[in-house]
Amino acid sequence: MTTTQYLFFSGKGGVGKTTMACATAVHHARQGKAVLIVTTDPASNLADVFEQPIGHKVTPLGMDNLWGMEIEPDKATEEFRERALGPLRGVLPENVLAVMEEQFNSPCTTEIAAFDRFVDLMIQEERGDSPAFDVIIFDTAPTGHTIRLLELPVDWSKHIEESAQGSGNTCIGPVANLQQQKAKYDTATALLANPDRTTFIFVTHADLTGLYETKRASGELASIGVRSVELIVNGLLPEEVCGHPFFRQRYEAQQRCLERIVETFSWTQRRMYLRDREIKGLDGLAHVAADLYPRAGAAPQFTLEDDGEEAAPEPEAGAVSDPIAPLLQPEGRTKAVFFTGKGGVGKTVVSCAAAFHLAEQGYNTLLLTTDPAAHIGAVLGQEVGAVPVPVEGAPGLSAVSIDQEEATEAYRARILADARTKYAPDMLKALEEELNSPCTEEMAAFDRFMEYLESEAYDVIVIDTAPTGHTLRLLELPFSYNDQAMLLFNSRQGGGANASPEKDRLARIVEQLKDPQRAVFAFVVYPESTPIEEAARAMADLEKAGIRAQFVVANQVIGAEYCTNAFFRSRRAMQVKHLRRMKERFRAPVAILPLLAGEVAGLDAVREAAEALTAPAATPQGA
């Protein structure tokens, strides 16, 4: 049997990890190895990069030795549920099956099911009961959620073992049904910790937030036993094209950060230059692969061959008033403003800029992050923790980051304290076991998030959310969490769900999120095809839940005055083309945040970003 190598790609959102993972897959396939590339990102763009449908099955990708698969959460959930319940149909009474099916409707089942499918791919290879691949590449969700994914084998194995010694139940059914899962999870844990079999590859940009994120996440990886780590520094500006002072400043900042990266990390490091256009299709990926894994003596190529396309004309533009200020302002009661989008498109910078602007307008503003890989502290230039603190130098602005562990402990303590007044000791023990499930972390984070929405202590709460797929998961929780809460509190007692104050609380949150006067949803995108398509898909999903996005921010738009050579004129032409597409694609105003000369770090830079975001600007006509 082939000894499969497992490569995990991750990093801060938007650093190009999918492109690097796909280019690596193409490289190994061209070397004659059988390669499978799998995405575990709920907002996957694997199909966009390969320019072909993929879906929830192993699919040939148009060249010898290369296959792909997108783990679709809904399908993985149905498969997971049926594997557990299928053998029991016709054996157990209908009322028992009904309770078990209700347990599988818990908010965490989707996460567990997608994770279980990912583990299956590893275990099948070890058992030899699937087509053997020489290399399996996992293109994962952005770092905070990847760490969560890789921690799950340890967490679930431990929870199953503890439940077996207690009531025999877990939040997704009887532990007897999950004993085989524990063996799988133990095997996965061993593989992740084996440096001869598994390599974790961080992708980063040469900036301070990327450095910070990589350093933080590498420590968490070490804590779960991952020892083989490499690094790709992506998006480097070629010195040859940085003649204009604007880009020269950015180039020199990257070089200073590169020096710190070399000093900080002893791992194998690869470097990749920025291209003058998007990388899509097998030809583009092969071009990147040649630079990422160069032959000895080969010089890097930082542009693609001219494809013969004419540059798109500049969009018709005119001075327009700030399209977003009226949408941000509160109207009597606390307003929540959500910024979401594909990882790395600049949600945190836009969130900080918008919050700073609102505070300057005299509104008591809270900036809150729900992203487990948050770096609002790095942008603001001060430490941000689990308790709201005033932002020094910005009167009226406070900031807070939801701390997963702290929120989980507080949530458990609150639920148990309330339960002690209602339930007998045996019920309390069973409830405590359920609260020790890894699922509880997600519910606890959302519970803390709800507390801020309910507090009415601020005029505006600006929410810097996790990347799109996980944001949608967060926003779906009010709709699905109610069932789990009722199960948790009432099913064992036979109580009526309608009597629960928790249900009323959740109903109020749902109504607030659906009310455009009290909740604003905005997408941040780069003017590139992948973020635009992902935002369009996410907007459609939001509309199914009764929520409509109210505006879009096009971030890092290159000013025409800086494009003094063919390289940046080509990038600008690409952006202009996509700005036109955004006008057609989105039924919402588009605000433009131009590319700034330096990294947004510290209040002076945040103020500059806020002024650029909210000032009248030249935008595509009709956007």
Q: Is residue 145 part of a domain?
A: yes
Q: Within a domain: residue 303?
A: no
CA distances for 130 relative to 62, 125, 153, 408, angstroms: 21, 6, 21, 39
In sequence order, what DSSP letters do the residues of 103-128 get, joined into one string?
Answer: HTTSTTHHHHHHHHHHHHHHHHHHHT
Instruction: Determine which of 192-206, 284-298, 331-345 has the lowest per-residue pLDDT on average.
Output: 331-345
Structure confidence at residue 304 as a pLDDT band (50, 70, 90): very low
Residues 90 and 128 in one domain: yes
- Please count the other Cβ atoms lying within 10 Å of the Cβ belonging to residue 63: 16
**Token duo for residue 53:** 């449908």
pLDDT tens-digit profile of 208-238? 777 877 887 777 777 777 778 899 999 999 9
Query: Helices in 265-391 by DSSP H: which ranges?
Result: 281-292, 325-328, 347-360, 376-380
The residue that leads in pLDDT, 51 or 468, is 51
Q: Which residue has the higher pLDDT, 156 or 118?
A: 118
CB atoms inside a 10 Å sphere around CB 46: 23
Residue 312 within a domain: no
Q: Which of 377, 526, 538 is nearest to 470 (CA)?
A: 538
Q: 516 in a domain, yes or no?
A: yes
CB under 8 Å to 548, separation ≥6 — which residues? 516, 521, 539, 542
Residues 131 and 232 in one domain: yes
User: Residue 101 sits in a domain of what CATH number?
Assistant: 3.40.50.300
* Rounded mean pLDDT, 535-542: 82
241 compared with 149, residue with greater pLDDT: 241
| Mean of pLDDT values over 526-551 | 83
Q: What is the pLDDT of residue 143?
A: 44
Residues 171 and 434: beta-carbon distance below 8 Å:
yes
- Over residues 46-66, mean pLDDT: 89
Cβ atoms of 151 and 144 within 8 Å: the answer is no
Indicate if the pLDDT at residue 621 is higher than 50.
Answer: no
Q: Is 446 inside any structural domain?
A: no
Same domain, 392 and 525: yes
Q: Which residue has the higher pLDDT, 378 or 370?
A: 378
Q: Which residue has the tokens 């989105």?
A: 586
73 and 22 inside one domain: yes
Residue 96 domain boundaries? 5-292
Reading the block at residue 418, the tokens are: 């309330």
- Asked if 540 and 604 sit in the same domain, the reply is yes
> In the prediction, which pLDDT does 172 show?
46
The answer to whether residue 46 scores a pLDDT higher than 80 is yes
Strand partners, 295: none
Q: Among 108-117, 256-265, 593-602, name the one with the lowest average pLDDT.
A: 108-117
Higher pLDDT, 387 or 87: 387
Mean pLDDT value across the chain:
77
- According to the model, what pLDDT value does residue 396 have? 94
The confidence score (pLDDT) of residue 501 equals: 64
Task: Give me the pLDDT at residue 135, please.
Answer: 93
Averaged pLDDT, 548-556? 89
Q: Mind listing the pLDDT tens digit for each residue in 454-487?
A: 888 899 999 887 654 555 555 555 544 444 444 4
Q: pLDDT band at 372, cuts 50/70/90? A: low
Residue 282 and residue 352 in one domain:
no
Please report the pLDDT score of residue 108 as a whole number.
Answer: 57
Helix axes 208-223, 143-165, angle to 10 degrees: 20
The reported pLDDT for the residue numbered 44 is: 66
Mean pLDDT of 51-58: 87
Rounded distance, CA 557 to CA 126, Å?
47
**Is 175 or 227 the better-scoring residue by pLDDT?**
227
Position 355 scores a pLDDT of 94
> What's the domain count of the chain?
2
Residue 350's pLDDT band, with cuts at 50, 70 and 90, is: very high
Q: Average pLDDT for residues 560-564, to the nearest whole number? A: 91
Say what the pLDDT of residue 100 is.
62
The per-residue pLDDT for 429 is 72
Strand partners, 320: 617
Mean pLDDT of all residues in 366-383: 80
pLDDT by residue (tens digit) across 404-463? Answer: 788 888 888 887 887 777 777 776 776 676 676 656 776 777 778 788 888 888 999 998
Q: What is the DSSP letter of 562?
A: G
pLDDT-derived band at 48, boundaries 50, 70, 90: confident
Q: What are the residues whose beta carbons fall under 8 Å from the beta carbon of 353, sequence distance 6 or more?
A: 593, 600, 606, 609, 610, 612, 613, 614
185 and 83, same structural domain?
A: yes
Note the pTM of the prediction, 2 decimals: 0.75
Domain boundary among 250, 274, 292: 292
- Among the residue ranges 13-17, 77-81, 406-410, 591-595, the one predicted with the least confidence is 77-81
Indicate if the alpha-carbon torsion angle 173, 174, 175, 181 is positive or negative. Answer: negative
Which region among 10-24, 78-92, 340-354 has the lowest average model confidence (pLDDT)? Answer: 78-92
Residue 348: per-residue pLDDT: 87
Lowest mean pLDDT segment, chosen from 222-231, 380-389, 561-570, 595-604: 222-231
Share of residues in the chain with pLDDT > 70 (%): 70
**Residue of higher predicted confidence among 609 and 416:** 609
The residue type at 351: S
Query: What integer pLDDT is reported at residue 210 of this predicted model?
Result: 79
Res 276: pLDDT: 86
Residues 47 and 131 placed together within one structural domain of the fold: yes
Could you tell me the pLDDT band of residue 308, with boundaries at 50, 70 and 90? very low
Nearest to 277 by CA among 623, 553, 530: 530
In a shared domain, residues 461 and 336: yes
Distance CA 160, CA 169 (A): 8
Q: Is the model more confident about 505 or about 617? A: 505
Mean pLDDT of 23-36: 94
CA gap 554, 302 in Å, rounded? 25
> Residue 358's pLDDT is what?
93
Q: Which helix (H) or strand (E) holds 396?
A: none
Closest CA to 388 of 302, 300, 451, 323: 451
Report the alpha-carbon distance of residue 271 to residue 257 in Å, rounded: 13
Query: What per-residue confidence (pLDDT) applies to 211?
Result: 82
Q: Which of 292, 326, 346 is the last residue of a domain?
A: 292
**Pair 211, 323 in one domain:** no
Please indicate, yes or no, if residue 500 is contained in any of the structural domains.
Answer: no
* CA gap 451, 162 in Å, rounded: 31
Residue 449 placed within a domain? no
> 261 and 337 share a domain?
no
DSSP state string for 432-487: HHHHTSTHHHHHHHHHHHHHHHHH--SSEEEEEPPPHHHHHHHHHHHHHHHHHHHI
Residue 581 has pLDDT above 90, yes or no: no
Residue 107, pLDDT above cutoff 60: no
Highest-pLDDT range among 468-472, 504-508, 598-602: 598-602
Could you tell me which residue, 303 or 63, shows the higher pLDDT?
63
Kindly give the pairing relationship between strand 460-464 and strand 335-340.
parallel
Of 64-78, 501-515, 518-532, the poorest mean pLDDT is in: 501-515
Q: 501 in a domain, yes or no?
A: no
Q: Examine the domain organization and report whether 92 and 167 are in the same domain.
A: yes
Q: Decide: helix, strand or coil at residue 244.
A: coil
pLDDT number for residue 160: 46
pLDDT at residue 113 above 50?
A: yes
SS3 (DSSP) at 394: coil
- The pLDDT score that the predictor gives to residue 33 is 94
| 57's tokens | 């099955």
When comparing pLDDT for 169 and 611, which is higher? 611
- pLDDT over 60 (residue 175): no
Q: Which 3 state secondary structure label does DSSP give 503? A: helix
Read off the pLDDT of each residue in 252-261 and give the average, rounded to a whole number. Answer: 93
